[in-house]
A and B are shown apart, each in its own frame.
Chain A
Amino acid sequence: MRFLWSTTLKDLRRHRRSPAEFLVWLGVPLLIGSLIILASGGRSGPAPQALVWVADHDDSFVSNFLLTALGQGGHGNPVRSELVSEEEGRSRLGHGKGSALLIIPAGFGEAVLRERPATLQLLTNPAQRILPGIVEEELSVLVDAGFYLHRLFGDELRAMAAGPPAGRHVFDDAFVAALSVRINRLVDRLAGSLSPPLIQLRVEAVEQESEFDFASFALGFLPGILFMGLLFMAQGLGDELWHERQQQTLRRVVASPRSVHVFLAGKLLAGVLMMACMSLVGLCAGYWYFGLPAWTLPLAGAWTICTGILFMTGMTALQVHAASQRAGNILTMVLIFPLMMIGGSFFPFEAMPAWMATVGKLTPNGWALRRLRSILEGNVDLPVVALGFMLLLGLSLVLFLVSARRVRRAFVQG
């Protein structure tokens, strides 16, 4: 027990004197996480807006009305339209610019007024996922509006479509007056329903049942960034055994009466204490900033540390089975970067394609990350969590024993 503790203290002293390692382990995940949050827009900055190129072959009163309606509302509107020729619109969309191209065919206005079939063509940008959908939705609403307009003012619209009498360039005054009177009476009849509306909408802000807003984008990254830090630490600490071998201290330990298992356990304990410090600082900051339920903090801390133990024993097992330090580092790096990518450290599972999220959730870090998110959300199913702890620690024990056996039998000899 005394040797275990002296090994732990020895490693803690050595790491304290190499603060650059800590900066890398903590700084890289924080930097990557911050960049990803910023690159993804985070929760600040202007709202995204769909830009629709419109090729208007009709150039009628109706097509102009459609164009205005599509871009109405100024900066608050999620859709903005810009008139272009069809050729230019296709070219811009082909270069990935804009969300969609709307082609209004010639004769569209007359077809709408006479309530005849007409086709609008909407080409969307496949590189965008959400904004073209918004454009399609808004266009559908406008098309529906045309239908209802006909139900209300069908006769008037058809009369307008027929145009002025033969030999005249404009409608005569009697026609305009009669049309105005009909519209006025219709509006008057509907006014009881439209103003004020019979269906009243009462807007009320409802307090969320949960004490926190887990949907917050940044909060979605907290477990991922923590696990990224743990993976980097585990990689660095696993590499430590190569240093022990190179400076011959590992041979000296093996030549002593103490067991290699105790020595490795001491090193593991030092690593766990460092991981615990990092995890608890990160978690406490996250709990304070996002206002998470404090009662889950001890459980979240324990889960993070146990996950760190699994990472560290796993990385150590890989390192001691590698042919050289270089091979060990390549092996672990080749493993941890894809794990971080699909295991939820770089991108939340919600932002991944479905197949990738499914695979990512099956990786060790992805699995542990989902459990941690559940704990942070306050969804603690004790039997499931207890089983998870047993799994983490059991697997860590197996990896530890495999590493110790390898170190004693082959690794120390070089």
Chain B
Amino acid sequence: MIEVEGLRKQFGDLAAVDDVSFMARPGRIFGLLGPNGAGKSTTINCIAGLLKPSRGRVRVLGHDVVTDGPASRRQLGVVPQELALYEDLSARENLAFWGGAYGLGGVLLRSRVDAVLELIGLADRAREPVKNYSGGMKRRLNFGCGLVHEPQVLLLDEPTVGVDPQSRVRLLDLVREQAGAGVCVLYTTHYMEEAEHLCEELAIIDHGCIIAHGTMLELRAMMGERDLVRLTGEFDPAAAGAALGELPGVELVQVETAGLTLAVPEASARLSEIFQALAGAGAQIRGTTLTEPNLESLFIKLTGKELRE
């Protein structure tokens, strides 16, 4: 279990993470979703003991990461965003070294290395230097190095970045298997589809703060089953706002001279009504995008910008 309470990490004047709180439970995948630079990796680094929190408390399996660091890290498996491997060693030698770093040795270490090699599908190339591997194989090995000591808590920092579709599916299956085996998984990503399909519980983070938190059902409920309509063209913000305000159930999320965003129940049936109202307000519409309720639309609703911006 991971407990994060009021976490703040400051670099000079910049608060990379501010007042972040959540709890990740065993056997579940907790997602931390946010754009690049939102504070996901800083949060992970504080949990892994790589950064010392400026304020707040982080506990892993009940052990405080600051006051009881070694104990908190003993059952922690970390899969960093960048590959953390010795490229001139083989997969077997890498796994053996990282297993040794967590206290494994002898027969137990050898059996765990064999098991992980099977799990990540590299048993047949286990003796080759890692530098000969493809990007996807390296990613799987990077993942395997975090599993070799059978951790009870797994921190995965964007493990699928730059991975081919096949390896991505394989990696996500591995993550599910770990959660199925009772491991507490904290998974950070900026791919909303990945988070939506993988995570049972999510926190959306932006500019170092959690802006939404809950299960997938709870987060969808925040959208109120409303579609998101994005219109591009030329708009008079005041006139457009006034015209749309008269339409029942239409919520203006964001308005600019070059585009506006609306949250509308069953938007496809109401597009002509919206276009008429905007035409009356002097708007010129050039493009329309309709999005069904999902994490991306929730993020846009909460922040007024797309997740990938």
Contacts and interface: CB of A to CB of B under 8 A. Distances in A.
B214 interface: no
B87 interface: yes
B76 interface: yes
Interface string B74-88: 101010101111111
Given A6-B96, A10-B89, A251-B50, A257 B102 contact: yes
A13 B90 CA distance: 10
Nearest to B99: A6
Interface residues of B, number: 31
Contacts of A253: 101
Nearest to A243: B86
Contacts of B28: none
B74 to A, nearest CB: 5
Main secondary structure of the interface of A (DSSP, over half): helix
A14 B130 CA distance: 12
Interface string A227-255: 00000000000000000000111011111
B80 A257 contact: no
Given A255-B78, A257-B73, A257-B102, A248 B50 contact: no
A256 B102 CA distance: 7
A2 interface: yes
A413 B103 CA distance: 24
B89 A252 contact: no
A18 B78 contact: no
B299 interface: no
B6 interface: no
A413 B50 contact: yes
B32 to A, nearest CB: 17
A275 B49 CA distance: 34
Contact of B88 (A2, A18, A257): A18
Given A10-B97, A248-B82, A255-B78, A412 B88 contact: no
Nearest to A17: B88
B93 interface: yes
B48 interface: yes
A343 B49 CA distance: 43
A326 interface: no
Interface string A1-16: 0110011001001100
A315 B151 CA distance: 36
Contacts of A258: 101-102
B103 A257 contact: yes
B100 interface: yes
B218 to A, nearest CB: 31
Interface string A243-281: 000011101111111110000000000000000000000
B235 interface: no
Nearest to A4: B100
A6 B101 CA distance: 8
A251 B84 contact: yes
A255 B86 contact: no
Given A254-B49, A254-B50, A257-B73, A3 B80 contact: no
Nearest to A14: B88
20 contacts: A2-B103, A3-B100, A10-B89, A10-B97, A13-B93, A14-B86, A17-B129, A247-B83, A247-B84, A247-B85, A247-B86, A249-B84, A252-B101, A255-B50, A255-B76, A256-B98, A257-B69, A257-B101, A257-B103, A413-B51
Given A252-B101, A412-B50, 18 more contacts: A3-B103, A6-B97, A13-B93, A14-B89, A247-B84, A248-B80, A248-B82, A248-B83, A249-B86, A252-B80, A252-B98, A254-B50, A255-B48, A255-B50, A255-B76, A255-B80, A257-B74, A258-B102
Which 10 pairs across A and B sit closest by C-beta, in order of nearness?
A: A248-B84, A6-B100, A256-B101, A255-B48, A252-B84, A257-B70, A257-B73, A255-B78, A257-B74, A248-B82
